[in-house]
Each structure stands twice: as structure tokens, then as C-alpha cells.
């Protein structure tokens, strides 16, 4: 009798193969003659597809060099990358293979909510909420944008420009549809404010949005909430995401106050907040990067490396706010001589501390490695070290800000940069899934021994 092993599929393999498959298919679609106004090399098309799927926003060729069909393809890739591969690809895979259990397990692991990962119906509700909420916000943002860009110079139909900007802003992709990018519309205060709101909602994370929505809906219906408290993850995001923005904004103004000269008080506030929000995850920028000091560039790198919230359309931006906060809490615990890491009256499991530091160390190592590789592949470039480091972190953090090095890269450099964007998009989640997969418990306990640290 022959026994066949049941079909199994590794979650992290699904994620990696899915994003590579979509990126390659996007490149082939962009290679169609009808998708281009001027012919492009495959490496530039692959770079563009990678940037759209990874919601990075860095392009090596102008967006206007693509036809209307090409821009539709790019917008579709942004939407797929923004909503997340887990909410689109894995449910589709589960229709053809017996991976329903794995689907909701991955969903739960993605948001680090163990009670979600053991309830298929609840996970399905979460995915449904993500898709419906995203489409609703994008629709509202697009319609509002339509009425705000009536006097702006456009190279595309007004309705399409509004749709593209609404989706691009919410998905934190950083690809601007306007001629001259966002700098050409910086005088449009309402549009800048709307874009800031869309970026904040998109990068906030679906866990707190879901919990807040459920609470408001239950309150509206007169149904008592069974839980009085938000989850720890939601509290971290709600408190620390605005805090990071409010710290970053005045630092930008102090270091680049000359670029805000001539603006009114409210214009300065609007533009400062816009850039503080965008430079952390999205990549829209109204400032002149070529005149920025190394101090400003370093600040951008630090906050971009921290990135946005987990489980958001901000994608792979940085190590995530939660990992950063857990690292700070761990350092505080070590300094105070405490035995347990605590936040908001909750004890953090040791395994999560290990994962947070693993993500940070792997991410830092990749950024250093990427910088060295780019310095080798672009050895003929006159750019200083800071520019190479900036581009490497931009690729990993998917925050879409470039100092102009990407368009002039060699073919090998562009391919490696694309790999860097893909790595940044999936690194944190695949690492967590891999760590959870290989988690082992042993009854053997070895003797404890201390070593010299300093």
C-alpha cells in the first residue's frame, strides 16, 4: 500500500515565491509595447515592478514614460503590494490546496495575535475588514483628491490622477502621479493635509484600526464590549506612532528651516508634518534632498529604519515600531536591573524579545551588506559614502526616498537594489514565521554559566 504525504506548503515560501512571481509578471506586463511610451530595458522594468509591489516608490525611469496602460499596471501592482500578499495571495492559494489552517495561522502570526491564529472564522473577518476598510478609505481619498486637483497641471485624466494618488498615498507607495512629483503641488495645502491623513491611516496598522472599529460599532449598536482594554500591540502603536512623528517633525524643521522660509505658520506646520510622516514610510517629499546636510539625512535614515506599524499597508517599512519599542523596553529593563520586560502593565514573553532583537540585527546587517555591495557595483560613481548608505536603507525600509543614485546605477546595481526592496518587504514576517516554525522545546537543561561582557 502506498501512502502519499498530504500537501504541505511552508508559509514563508508562499510569501517569497508570491512576491517574486508577482514582480516578474508585473515586469512582463510593463514590457508590452502598449505599456510604454518609450522603450525601456528589462532591468528598469523589473526595478519599477519591484518598487510598485514593495510599495517603495523609487523609480529609475520617469512615470510619464509609461503609457496609460502602463500606469494602470503600476497602480495594480501598488494595490496588490499595499493590501499585502497575505490578504490576497494566501486566501487564493487556499482555494486550490488544503491550506485553510495555514492561512489563518499565518494571518494570526502576521499580526502577532495568538488568539486570532487559532480561529479561522475570526481570521477571515480580519481579512475581510482589511480589504473592505482599505477600499473604502482609498475611495474616499480618491474622490476628495478629485475635487482638490482641479487647478493642478496633469498629464493624465483628472479622475485617474485622483485614483492613482488616493491609492498611492494610502498604500504608502511614494509614487507621485503629478508632473514634478509632490513638490509641484506643495502649495495645495488641503491636498498635502489629505495626503498626510491617508499616509497615517495606511501606515497605522490594521490591528488597532480593527479593534477601534469594533468598539465604535458595538457602542453605536448598544452592545457592551467584552474587553475593556485594547491589546498591548494597539497601545504601543497608538502611543508611539504619533510620538515618533512629533519628535521627527521639529527635528526636520530645525535642521532644514531654510527650506520652510517664506511660508506662513500653518503652511510650515502642514509641510513639516507631511514630510515627517512621509519620510518615515511613504517617500513623498517636498524638500530639496540635494541641499540637505548629513545630519538631516542621518535623521531620515534612523526614522525610516524604525518604519511604520506591523500589519499595515506600509508593507515592509523598517523594523516596525513594535520591535523598536520592545528593544527600548528591554534596554530600560537591563538598566534598571529588573528581571522581566514590562509595558503598560503587561509582561513581554522572552521569545518575543529574542525575535525583536533578531529582526533588528538581521536588518542592520542587511543594510551594511547592501551598502558595501552598492559601493562595489557603483565604484565608478562619484557619490559619497552617506549616499550609498542612504540608498541601501531606502531599499530595505521601502520608504521611497532617493538621493538620485538609483537611476544612474549599473544593471547589477539595479537588480541588487530590487532584491533589497523585496528583502525589506518580507524580511520581518518571514523571519518571524521561520523562528516560529523551528521553535523547539527540550527537557534538557544545561548548567548556567556567565561570561565577561565588558
Q: Which pLDDT tens digit goes with each residue over 63-122?
A: 999 999 999 999 999 998 887 655 555 555 554 444 444 444 444 444 444 444 445 555
The per-residue pLDDT for 440 is 57
Q: Give Rg (Cα) of the chain.
A: 22
Residue with cell 532584491: 419
- CA–CA separation, 86 vs 168, rounded Å? 19
Give φ, ψ of 386 to 5 degrees.
-60, -35
Local structure of 333: helix, strand or coil: helix
Q: Note whether 215 and 225 are within 8 A (CB).
A: yes
Best CA proximity match to 26, nearest among 35, 37, 13 = 35
- CA–CA separation, 256 vs 138, rounded Å? 32
Looking at 4-149, list the stretches that DSSP marks H as alpha helix, in order from N- to C-terminal side. 11-30, 42-53, 68-83, 85-96, 100-111, 114-117, 120-148
Q: Please, which pLDDT band fits residue 25 given cuts at 50, 70 and 90?
A: very high
Q: Note whether 346 and 236 are within 8 A (CB).
A: no
How confident is the model over 215-242, as a mean pLDDT?
A: 79
Q: Note whether 305 and 319 are within 8 A (CB).
A: yes
Does 3 or 222 have the greater pLDDT score?
222
Cβ neighbors of 236 (< 8 A, separation 6 or more) are 321, 322, 325, 343, 344
Cβ atoms within 10 Å of 55's Cβ, excluding its own: 34
Mean of the per-residue pLDDT values of the chain: 83
Q: How far out from the chain centre does Cα 68 lie?
A: 26
Cβ neighbors of 416 (< 8 A, separation 6 or more) are 370, 373, 374, 377
The per-residue pLDDT for 261 is 85
Q: Please, which pLDDT band fits residue 9 given cuts at 50, 70 and 90?
A: low
Assess whether pLDDT exceeds 80 at residue 407. Answer: yes
How confident is the model over 47-65, as a mean pLDDT?
A: 91
Domain ranges of the chain: 11-433
Burial of residue 98, with CB atoms counted within 10 A of its CB: 0-12 exposed, 13-18 middle, 19 or more buried: exposed
- CA–CA separation, 365 vs 394, rounded Å? 14
Q: CA–CA distance from 400 to each of 137, 278, 416, 452 (Å)?
A: 22, 9, 16, 42
Cell numbers found for residue 90: 494566501
- CA–CA separation, 401 vs 174, rounded Å? 8
How confident is the model over 216-234, as a mean pLDDT?
A: 73
**What is the DSSP code (8-state) at residue 439?**
-
Best CA proximity match to 234, nearest among 214, 205, 200, 203 = 205
**What is the DSSP code (8-state) at residue 342?**
E
The per-residue pLDDT for 429 is 64
The per-residue pLDDT for 89 is 55
Best CA proximity match to 288, nearest among 317, 252, 314 = 252
Work out the angle between the directed axes of helices 100-111 and 85-96 (0-180°, nearest 10). Answer: 170
Beta strands per DSSP E along 325-424:
342-343, 346-347
pLDDT digits (tens, 9 = 90+) for 135-191: 999 999 999 999 999 888 888 999 999 999 999 999 988 899 998 888 888 889 999
How confident is the model over 405-419, as a mean pLDDT?
A: 91
Give φ, ψ of 353 to 5 degrees.
-65, -45
Q: Note whether 78 and 432 are within 8 A (CB).
A: no
Does 428 or 324 have the greater pLDDT score?
324
- CA–CA separation, 18 vs 113, rounded Å? 23
Residue with cell 516578474: 24
pLDDT digits (tens, 9 = 90+) for 277-292: 998 888 888 888 888 8
Sign, CA torsion 72/190/269/247: negative
Assess whether pLDDT exceeds 80 at residue 241. Answer: yes
The per-residue pLDDT for 431 is 63
Local structure of 220: helix, strand or coil: helix
The per-residue pLDDT for 101 is 44
Residue 287: left (phi > 0), alpha (psi -120 to 50), or beta? beta
**What is the DSSP code (8-state) at residue 32?**
S
Q: How far out from the chain centre does Cα 119 lie?
A: 26
The per-residue pLDDT for 50 is 93
Residue 47: left (phi > 0), alpha (psi -120 to 50), or beta? alpha
- CA–CA separation, 430 vs 340, rounded Å? 27
Local structure of 274: helix, strand or coil: helix
Best CA proximity match to 396, nearest among 305, 326, 312, 330 = 305
Amino acid at each position: 500500500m502506498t501512502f502519499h504525504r498530504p500537501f504541505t506548503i511552508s508559509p514563508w515560501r508562499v510569501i517569497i515565491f508570491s512576491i517574486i512571481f508577482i514582480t516578474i509578471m508585473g515586469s512582463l506586463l510593463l514590457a508590452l509595447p502598449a505599456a510604454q511610451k518609450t522603450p525601456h530595458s528589462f532591468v528598469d522594468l523589473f526595478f519599477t515592478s519591484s518598487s510598485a509591489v514593495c510599495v517603495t516608490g523609487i523609480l529609475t525611469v520617469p512615470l510619464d514614460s509609461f503609457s496609460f496602460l502602463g500606469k494602470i499596471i503600476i497602480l495594480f501592482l501598488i494595490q496588490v503590494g499595499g493590501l499585502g500578499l497575505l490578504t490576497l495571495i494566501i486566501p487564493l492559494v487556499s482555494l486550490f490546496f488544503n491550506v485553510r489552517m495555514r492561512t489563518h495561522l499565518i494571518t494570526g502570526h502576521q499580526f502577532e495575535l495568538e488568539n486570532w491564529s487559532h480561529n479561522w472564522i475570526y481570521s477571515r473577518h480580519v481579512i475581510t475588514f482589511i480589504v473592505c476598510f482599505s477600499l473604502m478609505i482609498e475611495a474616499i481619498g480618491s474622490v476628495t483628491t478629485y475635487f482638490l486637483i482641479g487647478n493642478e497641471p496633469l498629464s493624465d485624466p483628472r479622475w485617474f490622477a485622483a485614483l492613482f494618488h488616493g491609492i498611492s498615498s494610502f498604500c504608502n507607495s511614494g509614487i507621485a502621479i503629478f508632473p514634478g512629483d509632490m513638490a509641484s503641488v506643495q502649495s495645495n495645502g488641503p491636498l498635502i493635509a489629505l495626503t498626510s491623513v491617508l499616509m497615517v491611516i495606511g501606515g497605522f496598522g490594521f490591528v488597532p484600526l480593527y479593534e477601534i472599529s469594533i468598539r465604535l460599532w458595538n457602542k453605536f449598536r448598544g452592545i457592551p464590549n467584552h474587553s475593556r482594554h485594547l491589546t498591548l500591540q494597539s497601545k504601543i502603536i497608538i502611543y508611539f506612532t504619533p510620538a515618533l512623528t512629533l519628535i521627527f517633525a521639529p527635528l526636520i524643521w530645525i535642521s532644514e528651516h531654510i527650506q520652510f522660509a517664506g511660508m506662513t505658520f500653518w503652511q510650515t506646520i502642514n509641510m513639516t508634518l507631511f514630510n515627517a510622516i512621509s519620510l518615515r514610510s511613504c517617500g513623498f517629499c517636498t524638500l530639496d534632498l540635494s541641499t540637505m546636510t548629513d545630519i538631516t539625512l542621518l535623521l531620515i535614515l534612523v526614522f525610516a529604519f524604525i518604519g511604520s506599524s506591523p500589519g499595515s499597508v506600509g508593507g515592509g517599512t523598517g523594523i516596525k515600531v513594535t520591535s523598536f519599542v520592545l528593544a527600548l523596553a528591554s534596554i530600560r529593563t537591563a538598566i534598571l536591573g529588573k528581571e522581566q520586560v514590562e509595558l503598560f502593565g503587561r509582561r513581554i514573553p522572552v521569545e518575543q524579545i529574542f525575535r525583536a532583537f533578531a529582526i533588528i540585527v538581521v536588518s542592520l546587517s542587511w543594510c551594511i551588506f547592501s551598502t558595501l555591495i552598492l559601493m562595489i557595483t557603483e565604484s565608478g560613481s562619484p557619490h559619497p559614502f552617506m549616499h550609498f548608505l542612504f540608498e541601501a536603507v531606502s531599499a530595505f525600509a521601502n520608504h521611497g526616498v532617493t538621493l538620485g543614485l538609483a537611476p544612474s546605477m549599473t544593471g547589477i546595481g539595479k537588480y541588487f537594489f530590487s532584491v533589497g526592496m523585496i528583502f525589506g518587504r518580507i524580511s520581518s514576517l518571514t523571519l518571524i514565521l521561520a523562528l516560529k516554525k523551528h521553535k523547539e522545546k527540550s527537557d534538557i537543561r544545561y548548567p548556567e554559566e556567565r561570561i565577561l561582557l565588558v
